Amino acid sequence: MFTFFPRLSLEPSFLITFAFCWLLRFESYTQSLKFFKHKTYKKSAVKKVAYLRKEKETVEIDYPLGEIWAAIPKALTSLEWTAEQVDDTAHHVKAKTKAGFISYASVLLITAVAVDEKTARVTVTVETPVTTITSIFDFGRTRDRIELFFEALAKQLTSHENTG
């Protein structure tokens, strides 16, 4: 008997069996590596992200729906964001922000609904794709983009009010 540790003693037949199994397992591992080495894989066209950071804010504005709807594209243009889809009948806009150096572009879903003749409700939902690395640098950017949009919308509405 071999004694490696004072309380652990192993039979020689067990050691031989263990070494043989270990060699077989190592051989199958190296064979699988050779298989994967010669296999080619297509890169997926899907961008892998860790998760989507989603923020939502709803604001009631004391302007008619028509004035707010006319100011939304101007606000997006002033921020240099692009409107990808516009539905004039349902008052929905899907817009996209610019990507930063270490951050992805966000997608804004803007919905305007009339509360009464002089008031409208605007809901902005922002989704930003985030990876583990970009989450460190992009923290709070999604919320900032909502605030930037409402500030630009307020400027457009007040500038329209001052000129009219």
Per-residue pLDDT at 124 exceeds 60: yes
Give the model's pLDDT for residue 142: 84
Per-residue pLDDT at 1 exceeds 60: no
Condensed to tens digits (0 to 9), the pLDDT of residues 60-85 reads 999 999 999 999 999 999 999 999 99
Residue 97: pLDDT band by 50, 70, 90 thresholds?
very high
Give the model's pLDDT for residue 118: 93
What does the mean pLDDT of the chain come to?
A: 77
Give the model's pLDDT for residue 95: 96
The residue type of 42 is K
Residue of higher predicted confidence among 36 and 139: 139
Condensed to tens digits (0 to 9), the pLDDT of residues 6-36 reads 555 555 565 566 555 554 455 554 554 454 4
Give the model's pLDDT for residue 36: 46
Query: What values do phi and psi take at 68, rounded to 5?
Result: -65, -45
Reduced 3-state DSSP string for the chain:
CEEEECCEEECHHHHHHHHHHHHHHHHHHHHHHHHHHHCCCCCCCCCCCCEEEEEEEEEEECCCHHHHHHHHHHHHHHCCCEEEEEECCCCEEEEECCCCCCCCCCEEEEEEEECCCCCEEEEEEEEEEECCCHHHHCCCHHHHHHHHHHHHHHHHHHHHHHHC
Q: Sketch out the chain's domains with CATH numbers.
A: 2-38 (no CATH), 51-163 (3.30.530.20)
